[in-house]
Amino acid sequence: MRKKVYLVGGYNTISMGTGRKEFSPKKERPGLEEYIREAGQGVLKQIGGAANVDECVIGNFIASRFNKQANMAGFFPYIDEGLTFKPCTRVEGACGTGALAVLTGIKSVLAETADVVLVVGVEVQNTVKAIYGADILAAAGWFKERKDGHAYFFPGKFSDRAGAYYEKFGKEKTRKAMARWYVNAIENARLCPTAQEYHNTTADLLAQGMAEPNPKGFVDNLNVFDCSKVSDGASGIAAVSEEGLKKCGIDKKDAVEIAGFGQVEYDITKPPKDPTKLETTAAGVQKALQMAGITKDQLATVECHDCFSIAGIMAVEAIGFAAHGEGPDFVSAGHTARGGKIPFNTTGGLMGWGHPTGGTGVHQAVTIWEQMTDRAGKAQIEIPKDKPFGLSINMGGDDKTLGVMVYKKI
Amino acid sequence: MNYSERLQNVTVLGAAGKMGSGILLLTAMEMADLSLKPENKGKEYVLYALDISQKALAGLMKYIQGQVLKAAEKKAVALRKVYADRKDLIENCEIIDQYVKDVMNIIRPVTTLESAYESLIVFEAASENPDLKVKIFSQIEKNNQNKPWFFTNTSSIPIGYLDKEAGLGGRVLGVHFYNPPAVQRLVEVIKASATLPELSEFVSQFIKNLRKVEVPANDFAGFIGNGHFMRDALHGMAEVGKLSKEMPFVDAVYIVNKISQDLLIRPMGIFQLIDYVGIDVCQYIMKVMAPHVKDEKIHSPLLDQFMELGVKGGQHSDGSQKDGFLKYEKGRPVGIYDPDKKAYVAIADIAAKCDALIGPMPEGFLPWKSAVGHPAKDDFFKKYFMALKVMDSLGAKLARDYAIRSKAIGLKLVSDQVAFSEKDVNTVLLTGFFHAYGPINDYLN
């Protein structure tokens, strides 16, 4: 890093959708603007108000279809009048949008065009039924593949990956690990009041996770518990310089430092070389760790992109915690659980906390900031002194647009 | 003529009614699915939705469109394959839309009987009136040159009677859907002695394609479903008669309704079920059954009394429950009709004292909703009824008598050869009435 950059003032709205007690598909719900405003104001309150903000970045995947809304940057002055006439930008990289938003903020600080950048990520997806939402989310893939794709396009893509993985490394052990991944996700979410699965009371999660996939109604190799849900939500955080910290009157101990990042891209028109691997993820992680000058063994926690349980397991391998084919053993041994060797997704991740697509990358940054500044409440884990680093992986499409960040506890 | 050809021209009579609309929906989707098969390309499929009221038909088309949309959303995975060669249909929303159009394009809402003169199949769901059914069937038979097949949804009239009176030469079969047909999985199939075997073969395939459960019943008024239900209801009403000698009528209704729901772990109490079906419909079915049942009296003076008072139960066109024996608010019983006062008594005012009379729930009690999905259901009911068996309360005694009577009714349906097996009786009660266990069991032995 050419210059120190910090993240401060993180805020998450509730991840709203099925599972939350207050959610009913028939009841009217807050819209895009309410979520943006809540998350934006949540950050502004912690950084001394809009006057301190130099730039704004909003991450949103596809409000143009879920909410018939574009020109998203225009919502910043709606958050606070004080943001009127400030430079505002909207970025998009499918489900990897959130990390792109945070990285854009970080780069503005690095480029010295700003000392304080307000970053918000948002998606409101419960406006349509899941079967139509699948159409919309399919835009994260190449549209020319849509016709031959599954009705549930992305579950279909990762079902194919799971099928390939079963074939190569064994179905039974993989399915068991996927169910264990689900258990971890829900148990962590139960500790976080904003999580979509916070109210989950299922007694035997493992048995639920082991449910046999039903190809007639859904996809061949995944059940619904292997998938993240449809979510409405927004998250906000500020990327600031040393000067920015001073300007906002924030103590360094309330900030997390960005130690490195890896932003990488893969050709959207090409299928993965090996469907049992997340190679773009691996490239992004390698780049980020290299930039931070650390190894995976110095990580205290990881927020990975578990849009599907199989993607979580493949991410474990992509980081290098387990060899190719041994991710399931690593997960089943409990190493990724909150008390394990390397706790993953401590507030539930995409499967447990929720996946408001354009907001997810920002939510991951907020979660690590919370863990590194002792703000995670019941979900708090211990960050060992000799392992002061955290990692987040945000993925757009089928391992295409990757935003990876390494964070350091101060 | 094969299965698919037979379904190229169909009429549903009484299409805008509660049963007719469901049958129309299922048939329309089955016909559309056939028409979309590559081998049937270019063939014409026509489904006449026949009813007397234009207004009802307009409502029907709206209902069908909404239901087809829901069904299409559910089977989008399969529909993508059906429309795989349509390059213009890419997204789920486009495919679902096209399917709805394709189904709706098959249906022709009509008000005149002439349409049925060209059909190969006539599905009849007109009102449960033997004379009316005979009249319509004869008229179609006289004018239709295709020797059509008649499928009747009657729940009580013997099929042989309709065959003989309308002169259909064995081209008639009872195909009794349960309410609502789109949801209920059970279909009772009733052959008359002269019914041609090809009709049953066709219907078996049809029911299988609709993913429903076929239970054969003998051609005996009431068949299995109403054969059991009507006698079960008569037992409940007789119990009220006995209890009323010692307590107010409304208390007796409350107690019998409660024990038949809670203590017997059924989805609803017997009086709620009578209201659901309709007091008028129950009275009518009994009237149709009575002349064909020699050794029992299938008649209820209590139903007659309520009909005279104008209290009929049944459902509003939006599916909500009308008041009958019980008064309903948001679908839940809140009052009981007192025929002397000609007014409803609030359940809240009598529940406590009646519950005290009923006595405690047997050990291990679970409400129907939990029991029906119990992973070890058989064991659960064994233990539950064992507990019920040794209890001394009024409620337990009434519940035991009810269960014993219910079993006896089931066994008699088998010995009278209305049902072909004990299993068939249980299947009807399990799938058609959503009971959590079949009436023919050994739980109280």
* Interface predicted TM-score (ipTM) of this complex, two decimals: 0.91
**HEC string for chain B:** CCHHHHCCEEEEECCCCHHHHHHHHHHHHHHHHHHCCHHHCCCCCEEEEECCCHHHHHHHHHHHHHHHHHHHHHCHHHHHHHCCCCCCCCCHHHHHHHHHHHHHCCEEEECCHHHHHHCCEEEECCCCCHHHHHHHHHHHHHHCCCCCEEEECCCCCCHHHHHHHHCCCCCEEEEEECCCCCCCCEEEEEECCCCCHHHHHHHHHHHHHCCCEEEEECCCCCCCHHHHHHHHHHHHHHHHHHHCCCCCHHHHHHHHHHHHHHHCCCCCCHHHHHHHHCHHHHHHHHHHHHHHCCCCCCCCHHHHHHHHCCCCCCECCCCCECCCCEEEECCEEEEEEECCCCEEEEHHHHHHHHHHHHCCCCCCCCCHHHHCCCCCHHHHHHHHHHHHHCCCCHHHHHHHHHHHHHHHHHHHHHHCCCECCHHHHHHHHHHHCCCCCCCCCCCCC
- The whole-angstrom distance between A136's CA and the closest CA on chain B is 9
Whether the pLDDT of residue B275 is over 90: the answer is yes
- CA-closest candidate to residue B315, choices B12, B14, B13, B19: B19
Last residue of a domain, one of B160, B191, B217: B217
Spatial CA neighbour of B128 closest among B234, B223, B228, B235: B223
Interchain proximity B90–A147, CB inside 8 Å? yes
Mean pLDDT of A167-180: 98
Q: Which residues of B touch A216 (CB under 8 A)?
A: 77-78
Q: Domain check: are B238 and B283 in the same one? A: yes
Side-chain half-sphere exposure of A87, counting CA atoms within 13 A: 10
Query: Å from B75 to nearest chain A CA?
Result: 7
> A129 contacts in B (CB within 8 Å)?
73
Residue B191 shares a structural domain with residue B274? no
**CATH number for the domain that contains residue B22:** 3.40.50.720
Preferred mutation among A127, A129, A135 to probe B, highest tally of B CBs within 10 A: A135
Same domain, B306 and B211: no
The count of other CB atoms within 10 Å of the CB of residue A380 is 14
What is the overall mean pLDDT for chain A?
Answer: 97
Indicate if B426 and B312 belong to the same structural domain. yes
In angstroms, the separation between the Cα of residue B157 and the nearest Cα of chain A is 39
Residue B90: list chain A partners with CB under 8 A.
146-147
- Residue A367's CB is within 10 A of a number of other CB atoms, namely 27
In a domain, B400, yes or no: yes
Residue with tokens 């990327």, as numbered in its chain: A239
Query: Average pLDDT, stretch B82-102?
Result: 97
Residues B313 and B376 in one domain: yes
Model pLDDT, residue A252: 96
Task: Please report the pLDDT score of residue B31 as a whole number.
Answer: 98
φ/ψ (deg, to 5) at A168:
-80, -40
Q: Do B96 and A131 touch (CB under 8 A)?
A: yes
CA distance A77 to B359: 66
Which residues in chain B are contacts of A152 at CB distance < 8 A? 77
Q: Select the residue of A129, A147, A151 nearest B77 (Cβ to Cβ).
A: A151
What is the pLDDT averaged over residues B113-125? 97
Quick check: B76 and A131 CB within 8 A?
yes
The C-alpha R_g of chain A, in whole angstroms, comes to 19
Q: Do B93 and A147 touch (CB under 8 A)?
A: no
Residue B443, domain member (yes or no): no
Say whether A137-228+259-409 and A6-129+230-254 share the same fold.
yes
- Does B445 fall in a domain? no
Residue B2 CB-density burial (10 A; 0-12 exposed, 13-18 middle, 19+ buried): exposed
Calpha distance A6→A257 (Å, rounded): 4
| pLDDT score recorded for residue B445 | 84
Q: Which of B71, B123, B57 is nearest to B99 (CA)?
A: B71
Q: Could you tell me if A176 and A192 are in contact, meaning their C-beta atoms sit under 8 angstroms apart?
A: no
Closest Cα of chain A to B30: distance in Å? 18
Cα separations (Å) of A272 from A145, A249, A278?
A: 14, 47, 8
In a domain, B115, yes or no: yes
Measure Cα distances from A397 to A59, A286, A345, B40, B270 in Å.
15, 19, 20, 39, 56
- Quick check: is B438 in a domain? no
CA-based nearest residue in chain B for residue A145: B90
Given a cut of 80, whether residue A198 has pLDDT beyond it is: yes
Average pLDDT rounded to a whole number, residues A116-136: 97
Q: Do B92 and A134 touch (CB under 8 A)?
A: yes
Q: What gap in Å lies between CA A250 and CA A115, rounded to an integer?
A: 13
- Tens-digit pLDDT profile for residues B34-47: 999 999 999 999 99
User: How much is the pLDDT for B362?
Assistant: 93
Min Cα–Cα distance to chain B from A21, Å:
20
Q: Is the pLDDT of residue A108 over 90?
A: yes
**CATH number of the structural domain spanning residue B410:** 1.10.1040
Angle at B252 between CA B247 and CA B253, to 5 degrees: 150
Domain locations in chain A?
Answer: 6-129+230-254, 137-228+259-409
State which residue of chain B sits closest to A130, comparing Cα positions.
Answer: B73
Q: Which of B186, B217, B248 is the last residue of a domain?
A: B217
Q: Residue B74's closest chain A neighbor by CA? A: A217
Q: Which two tokens stand for residue B338?
A: 């007192």
CA-to-CA distance for B415 and A236, rounded, in angstroms? Answer: 73
User: Is A137-228+259-409 a domain of CATH 3.40.47.10?
Assistant: yes
- Whether residue B244 is found in the same domain as residue B383: yes
Q: Do B80 and A218 touch (CB under 8 A)?
A: no
Q: Is residue B112 part of a domain?
A: yes
User: Domain end: B198, B217, B236, which one?
Assistant: B217
**pLDDT for res B127:** 86
The lowest-confidence range among A248-257, B177-186, B230-239, B317-326 is B317-326
Angle at alpha carbon of residue A341, lines to A339 and A347, rounded to 5°? 50
Closest by CA to B156, choosing from B237, B238, B217, B232, is: B217
Cβ separation of B77 and A218 shorter than 8 Å? Answer: yes
**Nearest residue on chain B to A139, alpha-carbon basis:** B91
User: Mean pLDDT, to the nearest integer, of B198-213?
Assistant: 96
What is the residue range of B26's domain?
3-217
Question: Which of A267-271, B124-128, B341-345, B350-354 is predicted least confidently?
Answer: B124-128
Same domain for B147 and B255, yes or no, is: no
Which residue in the set B73, B77, B87 is minimally distant from A216, CB to CB?
B77
- What pLDDT score was predicted for residue A74? 98
Q: For residue B180, is it within any domain?
A: yes
Q: Is the pLDDT of residue B317 over 70?
A: no
**Residue from B197, B223, B188 nearest B417 by CA:** B223
Q: Are residues B319 and B176 in the same domain?
A: no
Do B140 and B238 fall within a single domain? no
Split into its structural domains, chain B has a count of 2
> Quick one: B243 and B356 in the same domain?
yes
B155: which residues sit within 8 A by CB, 6+ positions away? B128, B176, B222, B223, B225, B226, B285
Q: Touching check for A132 and chain B: CB below 8 Å? A: yes
Whether residue B170 contacts residue B195, with contact meaning beta carbons closer than 8 Å, is answered with yes
Q: Any idea which fold A6-129+230-254 has?
A: Peroxisomal Thiolase; Chain A, domain 1 (3.40.47)
The C-alpha atoms of residue B425 and residue B422 are separated, in whole angstroms, by 5
Same domain, B229 and B121: no
**Residue A131 with chain B: CB contacts under 8 Å:** 73, 76, 92, 96
Give the mutation candidate from B77, B80, B93 for the A interface (greatest A CB count, under 10 A).
Answer: B77
Give residue-wise pLDDT tens across range A207-251.
999 999 999 999 999 999 999 999 999 999 999 999 999 999 999
Tokens of A114: 């700003």
Q: Do A150 and B80 touch (CB under 8 A)?
A: yes
- With CA atoms as reference, the chain A residue closest to B85 would be A147
Q: Does A339 touch chain B (CB under 8 A)?
A: no
Q: Are residues B251 and B113 in the same domain?
A: no
Contact A150 B79 (CB under 8 A): no
Substitution target from A127, A128, A132, A218 for chain B, most B beta carbons within 10 A: A132
CB contact under 8 A, B90 and A146: yes
Interface mutation vs chain B, best among A62, A129, A131, A152, most B CBs within 10 Å: A131
Q: Does A138 touch chain B (CB under 8 A)?
A: yes
C-beta atoms of B92 and A216 within 8 A: no
Only one residue has tokens 């409000």, namely A63
Query: If you measure CA to CA, which chain A residue comes closest to B72?
Result: A131
Say if the Cβ atoms of B93 and A135 lie within 8 Å.
Answer: yes
Instruction: Compute CA distances B83 → B91, B100, B110, whole Å.
Output: 11, 13, 30
The proportion of chain B whose per-residue pLDDT surpasses 90, expressed as a percent, equals: 89
Q: Is the pLDDT of residue B408 over 90?
A: yes
What pairs with residue B214 in β-bridges? B187
Task: Answer for the pair B165, B59: CB distance below 8 angstroms, yes or no.
Answer: no
Residues 259-318 of A with CB under 8 A from B: none
Sign of CA pseudo-dihedral A348, A354, A356, A357? positive
Integer angstrom CA distances of residue B340 from A117, B305, B306: 78, 11, 11
Buried b (16+ CB within 10 A) or exposed e, B194-232: ebbeebbebbeebbeebebbbbbbbbbbbbbbbbbbbbb
Per the CB < 8 Å rule, is B77 touching A150?
yes
Which candidate from B78, B87, B92 shows the least CB-CB separation from A131?
A: B92
Q: Could B74 and A152 be called an inter-chain contact, meaning their C-beta atoms sit closer than 8 Å?
A: no
Name the β-bridge partners of B12.
B49, B123
| Residue contact A217–B77, C-beta within 8 A | yes
Average pLDDT, chain B: 95
How do residues B354-393 score in pLDDT, each as one tens digit?
999 999 999 999 999 999 989 899 999 999 999 999 999 9
Residues of B in contact with A151 (CB under 8 A): 76-77, 79-80, 92
In tens, the pLDDT along B145-203 reads 999 999 999 988 899 999 999 999 999 999 999 988 988 999 999 999 999 999 999 99
- Å between B41 CA and nearest CA of chain A: 22
Cβ-based contacts of A132 with chain B (< 8 Å): 92-93
Which residues share a beta bridge with A401? A265, A396
Is residue B139 domain-resident? yes
Across the A:B interface, residue pairs with CB atoms under 8 Å apart total 30
Chain B positions in Cβ-Cβ contact with residue A215 (cut-off 8 Å): 77
Please tell me the distance from the alpha carbon of residue A296 to that of residue A319, in angstroms, as a whole number.
Answer: 7
User: Is the preceding peptide bond at B197 cis, omega within 30 degrees of 0?
Assistant: no
Dig out the tokens for B281 from the structure.
């419909």
Residues A270-285 have pLDDT tens digits of 999 999 999 999 999 9
Chain B residue numbers with beta carbons less than 8 Å from the beta carbon of A146 are: 90-91
